[in-house]
Structure 1
Amino acid sequence: MIRPLAAALTALALAAPAQALDLTDMTEDERSAFRAEVRAYLLDNPEVLMEAIGVLEERQAEAQAQNDVALVQVNSDALFRDPASWVGGNPEGDVTLVEFVDYRCSYCRKAHEDVAQLVESDGNIRFIVKEFPILGEQSVISSQFAVATLQVAGPEAYKQVHDALITFRGTVTPENLQRLAESFDLDADAILAQMDAPEVKQVITENRALAQRMQISGTPTFVLEDQMLRGYVPLEGMRQIVAQVRAD
């Protein structure tokens, strides 16, 4: 049975504004009694804590979502209209999906097939890739090669290289990259030479700066219109979010 005093005190503590309950107005004995009663109530009714934690998490999620919307609005040009980024899917699609990707990221690899199925099956999604190497030198080299391919050989070649790099399990070496380029009948020498060009490094530097402004620290991170999806989302989950975006 819940003790009436404990219930009353705890209800007051949880329901009233913080400033309405001033412990400094209590005597030391009253404060000790209050704390003991609250503790006893919570031990007798731990579900109250779970309910409070649930409310807190909901409020934090709402605040994060509102903050993400603001971040997307402020950085919309860099996200959606950057001429240096590869654009796939349907360039005239009614929904735009942006992915920050690292080729050595296991969850990026896991998401790759899901994203490809989403874009292909939907047919009306504009898909943008942001090279965001954060997992060491191998990641940087891979992104440099991908960006250099886009600049030297164009978007179709980039798509081929991007798909190959995300599934590549070996060590990224100049020899392996040359063989990769040659497997698609690309000018391997020109692409390898472009990798250290200022234009390539600028793309990666600007993507990192954008990620910092967007408070993105991991991959994959997706921007779907004004929503941010931090981490891997299965295919059906992505489809549901796309449908929700369209409905809104």
Structure 2
Amino acid sequence: MKRLAFALAATTCLAGPALATDMTEMTDAERDAFRAEVRAYLLDNPEVLMEAIEVLERRQAAEAVANDSAMIAHNADELFNDGYSHVAGNPDGDITMVEFVDYRCGYCRKAFPEIKALVETDGNIRVIYKEFPILGEGSTLSSQFAISTQLVAGQEGYGLVHDALMALRGNPSEAVLVTMADDLGLDGKAIWDGMSDPRVDEIIRNNHLLGQRMQISGTPTFVMEDQMLRGYVPLDGMLQIVAELRAAKEG
């Protein structure tokens, strides 16, 4: 059904506005005859329909890429320089990658070791984490704790807690989170109490508003320079994209 819808849209696009005008001027008999001719032609030449579908899909893909680039440009300051999101990797890296992350998201966890491998292998990538809890209370609690960690214990403390939350398998209760932070050498109780700081919820709210403007509805979502990647991307794919971005800059 989806490809049929593409086909109908494609034949409409290829027909163009002039044909649409002519169709409105046809009599019912002429319109029926025209439709019969089109149907007969497509039945005799089904490859034309497939070609039309491919053309439409390429156009839509190109439009989506252009739309993503425009959204990134329009929201660049909040994406890359909001002043509060955690920055990992090389702060002066020539490639910046933003990740909208939810700690309870299975694909975020799957991507986590691959992002670390990318950063460590490359050495010249700046990573910005956007706390983007969308999977319920546990997600929100985890993000609140991570943000509070940054406010209380700084960037280094956030990095430790971020990694630990990615590996956490149990429910993120107060006892679990406080103990986890204490085991990392941080003051878990101070971090927990710091979650009441209005800035914590403000940061999450700002990230959600940014996500709405960027048409982000799931995690992980990555912004790599002027490209948006929705969903999990394996390490090999990230390496290829980084290489292409660098080549484009050099060109």
* TM-score normalised by the chain length of structure 1: 0.91
Which residue in 1 is equivalent to 2:16? 17
Correspondence 1:121 to 2:121: yes
Which residue in 2 is equivalent to 1:7? none
Question: What is the distance in 1 between the residues matched to 2:210 and 2:72?
Answer: 10
| SS, match of residue 151 in structure 1 | helix
**Post-superposition offset of 1:195:** 1.1
* TM-score normalised by the chain length of structure 2: 0.90
**Post-superposition offset of 1:87:** 0.3
- How many residue pairs match? The answer is 237
Q: 1:219 to 1:14 in 2, by over 3 A?
A: closer
Which residue in 2 is equivalent to 1:89? 89
Question: What is the distance in 1 between the residues matched to 2:91 and 2:205?
Answer: 25
Per-residue Cα deviation, 1:96-147 (whole angstroms, up to 9, x for no partner):
0000000111111111111111111111000000000011111000000110
Question: What is the distance in 2 between the residues matched to 1:135 and 1:196?
Answer: 21
Alignment map for 1:20-31 (pairs within 5 Å): 20=19, 22-31=22-31
**Post-superposition offset of 1:13:** 7.6
Alignment map for 1:195-234 (pairs within 5 Å): 195-234=195-234
Per-residue Cα deviation, 1:41-61 (whole angstroms, up to 9, x for no partner):
223333222221211111111
Question: What is the distance in 1 between the residues matched to 2:127 and 2:14?
Answer: 46
Percentage identity across paired residues of the two chains: 60
Q: 1:71 to 1:107 in 2, by over 3 A?
A: same
Q: 1:98 to 1:23 in 2, by over 3 A?
A: same
Which residue in 2 is equivalent to 1:69? 69
Per-residue Cα deviation, 1:172-192 (whole angstroms, up to 9, x for no partner):
100100110011011011000
Q: Which runs of 4+ in 1 moved over 6 A?
A: none
Question: What is the distance in 2 between the residues matched to 1:165 and 1:223?
Answer: 22
* Comparing 109-118 and 184-193, the one that deviates more: 109-118
Question: What is the distance in 1 between the residues matched to 2:217 and 2:233?
Answer: 17
Question: What is the distance in 2 between the residues matched to 1:73 and 1:176?
Answer: 40
**Post-superposition offset of 1:198:** 0.2
Question: What is the distance in 2 between the residues matched to 1:13 and 1:71?
Answer: 28
Which residue in 2 is equivalent to 1:180? 180
Question: What is the distance in 2 between the residues matched to 1:244 and 1:187?
Answer: 43
Question: What is the distance in 1 between the residues matched to 2:37 and 2:195?
Answer: 67
Correspondence 1:39 to 2:28: no
Question: What is the distance in 1 between the residues matched to 2:111 and 2:187?
Answer: 29
Which residue in 1 is equivalent to 2:163? 163
| SS, match of residue 210 in structure 1 | helix
Which residue in 2 is equivalent to 1:131? 131
For residue 18 of structure 2, what is the amino acid of its counterpart?
Answer: Q
Q: 1:207 to 1:87 in 2, by over 3 A?
A: same
For residue 209 of structure 1, what is the amino acid of its counterpart?
Answer: L
**Post-superposition offset of 1:209:** 1.0
Q: 1:136 to 1:13 in 2, by over 3 A?
A: closer
Correspondence 1:56 to 2:63: no
Which residue in 1 is equivalent to 2:7? none
For residue 40 of structure 1, what is the amino acid of its counterpart?
Answer: A
Question: What is the distance in 2 between the residues matched to 1:81 and 1:13?
Answer: 44
Q: 1:86 to 1:28 in 2, by over 3 A?
A: same
| SS, match of residue 154 in structure 1 | helix
Which residue in 2 is equivalent to 1:110? 110
Structure 1 stretches lacking a partner, 5+ long: 1-11
**Post-superposition offset of 1:14:** 7.0
Q: Quick check: which has more Rg, 1 or 2?
A: 1
Question: What is the distance in 1 between the residues matched to 2:107 and 2:16?
Answer: 43
Question: What is the distance in 2 between the residues matched to 1:24 and 1:191?
Answer: 68
